[in-house]
Amino acid sequence: MIELDARLILTVLVAVWILIALSVLLLGAVHGVRALRRRRRDRLDAQARPLVVRFTLVEDDDRAPAAALRTASGAFGDRVDDRLLSMLGTVRGEARQRIVEMLVERGHPALLRRRARSRRTTTRAAAVRRLGQLGLPEDAELLRRAVGDRAPIVRTTAVRAASAYPSSAAVAAVLDVLRGAGEVPSLVVVTSLIGQGSASADALEAIRAGLHDPSATVRAACAQALGELTSVADADRLALLLRRDTSPGVQLAAASALLRVGRASSVPALLEGTRSPWGPVRTRCVQALLALPQELTAEALGEVSRRGDALLAPLLASSAPTRRS
């Protein structure tokens, strides 16, 4: 009985050590494969990078780089596509157009469109991001549909990419995201709106129309975007929003926008805003008043000072010496 137990223990120990040895060998093999792939990737990158840089930045009559890039295939072709796409964000004008045309010749947009329909969330998101980088007109509808994707990461990526297709329809698709579950950060939406509004008059008008949207989140985002997009063209719209809107978030967004684009006609609305029951709104309105010329706001600031608002007193006191000088 004792001998049988010893044999059993020995057998178990041998099996355990065999499993450990196999695990070590497997981990070593996996590490080796990854190292080989990394070295291969680095080697292909080293070949692709100078070709892409020369094709993009050097203007000469040597057509060899273009021919080499056009015929690249397999793993080397994948590295060429990646290097070309990485250059899109760093160049402008004719150089950027050459990159886009080369990617189209290589059939890369068609590949990205197929990947945009993948079941894998990360694959769809990566494809949408790259299609946005390319900015091909035929992909505008695809990107607008991607804004409504079921996965938050794809929706967020599509909202960013939508700035490459500025239009009233793209603005509407982006704003519709804010009416959902709130899984796309409002800052991403505002950034997209700013990009669209700066490139398209139709998009800018759609953003202005958003000031009257039933959703307070949409109104606030549009107010933020207009504060970044315009000088004083929308000051009266924003002042009216500050006076009439009952949402504290919208009031704060309007006051923040007026801090950048306010003018003399904004003073009454800002003064009224200093009576808001919400402290951040009162603070931002005083900051906006202080940003305007003293001759326009002296009376309004004097009224605010006489109220003795403890929240606003430090702002008024810290600005007094500067404004007197």
3-28: average pLDDT = 84
* Torsion 213-219-225-227 (CA) sign: positive
Rounded CA-CA distance 214/285 in Å is 24
CA dihedral 256, 262, 267, 270 (to 10 degrees): -10
Q: What CATH number should be reported for the domain whose range is 233-306?
A: 1.25.10
The pLDDT assigned to 267 comes to: 95
The pLDDT assigned to 210 comes to: 96
More confidently predicted of 41 and 34: 34
Within 8 A by CB and 6+ apart from 53, the residues are: 87
Domain ranges within the chain, ordered by starting residue:
97-107+115-229, 233-306
Which CATH architecture describes the domain 97-107+115-229? Answer: Alpha Horseshoe (1.25)
The pLDDT assigned to 85 comes to: 86
| pTM as predicted | 0.79
261-271: average pLDDT = 94
Q: What phi, psi does 265 have (nearest 5°)?
A: -70, -10
Segment 76-125, tens digit of pLDDT: 888 888 888 888 878 888 888 888 989 999 989 999 999 999 999 999 99
Check for a shared fold between 97-107+115-229 and 233-306: yes
For residue 321, pLDDT over 90 is answered with: no
- DSSP label of 215: -
C-beta neighbour count of 193 within 10 angstroms: 30
Q: What phi, psi does 245 have (nearest 5°)?
A: -75, 140
pLDDT band at residue 232 under the 50/70/90 scheme: confident
* Torsion 296-286-198-236 (CA) sign: negative
43-53: average pLDDT = 83
The pLDDT assigned to 93 comes to: 84
The pLDDT assigned to 62 comes to: 57
For residue 1, pLDDT over 50 is answered with: no
For a pLDDT cut of 90, what percent of the chain falls above it?
A: 59
263-288: average pLDDT = 95
Residues 162/168, Cβ–Cβ less than 8 Å: no
Residues 159/147, Cβ–Cβ less than 8 Å: yes
Please give the mean pLDDT across all residues of the chain.
89
15-43: average pLDDT = 87
CA-based nearest residue to 47, from 16, 20, 68, 17: 68
